[in-house]
């Protein structure tokens, strides 16, 4: 799990204006349109995911800002503080989080999406029950990206015919998720 504060180079509890300024500075340097190439695409996706995570759900942001980070951002404790109790409990031991971002779905306007090396998990923040859902990557038949103005929607189709659509993703974040989710 990558620490979003470390990616943006800001301290926990930094004001939103400072987080936005750090994001803009990094975007100017790493944006693929600036000729940063493949490394730029990778870094920009990481920067976008960190920024999305920090400006996502206010309760999640408060939980992260209010905690002191232990050494090593890959620890279960740090990951638990960042993802919250429900998503952390849904992860198995050794399951590495690759991307975590705010999004929306038809079922919930406030959704938090997590990609691990094995599956997609999402928390429907405003649902009363069955808040955490998951989909094993082996069950994915194909993925579609649909770009709409500044955001991208990601439709994940399963072998059984189900479709899960995640809206309001940053284009680079959606592309990173799609790359990892696409079958073989």
Q: What one-character-per-residue DSSP string does 117-167 give? A: SSEEEEEETT-SS--EEEEEGGGEEEEEEEEETTEEEEEEEETTS-EEEEE
Q: Which CATH architecture has domain 4-181?
A: Roll (2.30)
| pLDDT of 120 | 94
Q: Where are the domains of the chain?
A: 4-181
pTM: 0.59
Q: Phi first, then psi: give them for residue 108, nearest 5 degrees.
A: -155, 125
| CA–CA dist 8, 18 (Å, integer) | 10
| pLDDT of 31 | 80
pLDDT tens over the chain, length 184 residues = 567 788 888 888 778 888 888 988 988 888 877 776 778 888 888 888 788 777 653 334 444 344 443 333 444 444 554 567 778 788 888 888 888 888 999 988 889 999 999 999 998 887 777 789 999 999 999 999 999 878 899 999 999 999 999 999 989 899 999 999 988 6
Token pair recorded at residue 73: 């951002």
């Amino acid at each position: 799990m990558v620490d979003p504060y470390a990616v943006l180079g800001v301290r926990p509890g930094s004001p939103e204006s400072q987080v936005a300024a750090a994001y803009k500075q990094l975007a100017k340097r790493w944006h693929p349109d600036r000729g940063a190439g493949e490394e730029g695409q990778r870094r920009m996706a990481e920067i976008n995911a960190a920024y999305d995570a920090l400006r996502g759900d206010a309760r999640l942001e408060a939980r992260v800002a209010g905690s002191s980070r232990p050494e090593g951002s890959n620890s279960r404790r740090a990951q638990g503080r960042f993802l919250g109790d429900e998503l952390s409990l849904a992860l198995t031991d050794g399951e590495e989080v690759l991307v975590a971002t705010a999004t929306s779905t038809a079922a919930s306007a406030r959704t938090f999406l997590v990609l691990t090396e094995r599956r997609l998990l999402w928390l429907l923040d405003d649902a009363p029950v069955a808040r955490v859902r998951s989909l094993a990557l082996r069950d994915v038949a194909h993925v579609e990206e649909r770009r709409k103005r500044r955001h991208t929607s990601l439709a994940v189709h399963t072998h059984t015919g189900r479709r899960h659509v995640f809206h309001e993703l940053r284009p680079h974040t959606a592309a990173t998720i799609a790359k990892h989710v696409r079958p073989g």
